[in-house]
A = this chain, B = another copy of it.
Amino acid sequence: MSHSANPLKIVVIGGTAAGPKAAAKARRMDEHALITLIQREPELSMASCGFPYYVGGTFDDRSLLICTPAGVVRNPTFFSKAKRIDALVETEAVAIDRNAKTVTYKHLPTGEINTIPYDRLVIATGATPIRPSVPGADLNGILTLHSMADADKLRSIRDAGQVKKAIIVGGGLIGFEVCEALHLANIETTVVEKTAQVLPFLDSDLALLVQNHVCEQGAHVITNNGVAEFIGESGHLTGVKLDDGSELPCELAVIAVGVRPNISLAVAAGLNIGTQGGIKVNSFMQTSDPDIYAVGDCIECTSLITGQAVRAPFGDLANLQGRVAGQNVIEPGSAEFPGITQTGICKIFDFTAGITGLSERQARALGFNEIETATIAGLDIPTFMNGKLLVSKLVAEKKTGRILGFQCVGSGDVSKRVAVVATAILGRLTVNDLANADLPYAPPYSLALDHVIVAAHVLENKLKGRMQGIVASEVKQKLDQGAPLFLIDTRNPDEFEELRLGIGEHLIPLGVLRDRLNELPSDKAAEIVVYCRISLRGYEAAALLQGYGWHNVKVLEGGLMAWPYPREK
């Protein structure tokens, strides 16, 4: 190849994740293209996902958020030298002219306006945090965590050590990351969530386990209660009033109720917007204008599970999509992005919460009615290697056994299990496939049968009618309604002394159950619920009881470890 007389002109709008990735990949595809990256903010290529860890003090060197692994800051000089990309910072693209094939941009510090031609354009304008429109929302002390400037502000609040109380508005991933960061900064922090549960991507029982963990760490969580008003004095936030009328004093509020795709440029240019409010693209990341591509938080994606359009504002996807667009702007049609499985994860104090695919609630809302689920608790690695707890829920189609989703929370290695099931969903594996998977086993890394395999075994048992399950919330509801459940805790007396539900259960250890069948209801149709610490012995007890004719025996799924309600001990 020689210097082309007529190099391709590529313009990329947006310089955080998807944009730089597209530009960088385009460069590797064509050394001679003219590539311009337009970025509104002063920084480029920020690891936004690292902001909470900088704010919380996991590391103190701010430049780590914007430098390469070799320690070079990704500023315009870097982009120019290492990638021959012309990166314009503090510069806003203000209009796209599709006929003239130009982008008009404004240098924000000077107000200077210019126009640049493109052969192919990439829109990577990302998203903007949603701000609730309640009174007082413009007081000082109300922040979001989205930009580098936000991160700087929150970090300086941490370093100043003046703020004593903070409110996080919104109990999603970023809300809890910020909660942890502020808690680490010795700020008393309360997460306020308008809906009935935190972490909306999880089913409620699992979300409640995470919420309990947060509270055990000393932070506070309020659900079913939104922020109705921000209260202030002389322009400064002093507290919030909630929907139920109660007031909480605070000097800082961080809003984390989700993001809205930045589509105004695209709308003004007449590009198609999808049903979910993001720019519509095909699998080549092409918008309705074949010379304009869009990637990252500003678009909507296709779910590989449902085929439907979904928004998925995630950093990994922004990079993957940017890479696909970077190929196509040079060689149109050369790369495709197949779609997503909604796989995400978050560290929340000593817990991790992760999901891939659909929760039970999402699946049902989408019309998957013939599904089965299994909630299990178990260790990630053996007790003798200091195993830590995982609580998971696997969701699958009844008829085909196809895995639709997996949630996992706990102090153990959640990330590996979610990654494995995400890959299983990508491969359209069934419960039976996962139940027989050959995974890497050695004691430092898993149980002989890994947690995900056990989850598949339990779900298989349910699908084959070998186990009837009941989740904690159902048991709670039945108890609250006074249903005549016969509850059996199958652990040993010493375990029972240490920890127990105290919901009217009978203690009958598995090892003596066969000798004490006479203590059970004589009515073989009686509703019996069995459990133990994780409901492994509970399940064995249920199989046993079925052998003696009781046919309405249910295993409390995940046992004590998945019980998210108060216990006697």
Residues of A that sit less than 8 Å from B by CB: 1-2, 17, 27-32, 47, 49-50, 53-54, 58-59, 61, 64-65, 69-70, 72, 78, 81-84, 173, 304, 312, 314-320, 323-324, 336-338, 340-347, 352, 354-356, 379, 382-385, 413, 415-416, 418-420, 422-424, 426-429, 433, 436-446, 448-450, 453, 457, 466, 491-492, 495, 510-512, 514, 532-534, 536-537, 539-540, 543-544, 546-549
Which of B72, B346, B416, B441 is close to A49, meaning CB atoms less than 8 Å apart?
A: B441
A533 / chain B contacts, CB cutoff of 8 Å: 69-70
Q: Which of A50, A336, A514 has the most CB of B within 10 A?
A: A50
Within the assembled complex, what's the spacing in Å between the Cα atoms of A314 and B540?
A: 26
Residue on B nearest A316 in the bound complex, by CB: B441
CB <8 Å contact, B28 and A540: yes
From A316, A342, A423, A429, name the one whose CB has the most chain B CB atoms within 10 angstroms.
A423
Smallest beta-carbon distance A30→chain B, Å: 7
How many identical subunits does the complex contain? 2
A546 in contact with B345 (CB, 8 Å)? no
Residue pair B347, A384 in contact (C-beta under 8 Å): no
Is there contact, CB below 8 Å, between A69 and B31? no
Residues on the B chain within 8 Å of A383, using CB:
64, 69
Given contacts A1-B549, A382-B50, A427-B428, contact A540 B415 (CB under 8 A): no
Query: A510 is contacted by which of B82, B320, B415, B427 (Cβ under 8 Å)?
Result: B82
Q: Which chain B residue lies CB-closest to A543?
A: B28
- Which residues from B are CB-within-8-Å of A442? 49, 173, 344-347
User: Quick one: given A28-B466, A64-B384, are A436 and B338 in contact (CB under 8 Å)?
Assistant: yes
Q: Which residues of B contact A58 (CB under 8 A)?
A: 384-385
User: Do B427 and A439 touch (CB < 8 A)?
Assistant: no
For A426, give its contact among B49, B352, B433, B450 (CB under 8 Å). B433
Query: Would A419 and B419 count as touching, CB distance under 8 A?
Result: yes
A406 to chain B, nearest CB (A): 10
A547 to B547, CA, bound (A): 73
- 29 inter-chain pairs at a CB distance below 8 angstroms, sorted by A residue, are A28-B466, A32-B547, A49-B441, A49-B442, A50-B443, A54-B384, A58-B384, A59-B384, A69-B533, A70-B491, A70-B533, A312-B438, A316-B441, A316-B449, A318-B448, A319-B449, A320-B436, A336-B436, A342-B438, A347-B442, A355-B440, A415-B416, A415-B446, A416-B416, A420-B420, A422-B439, A423-B424, A423-B427, A426-B438
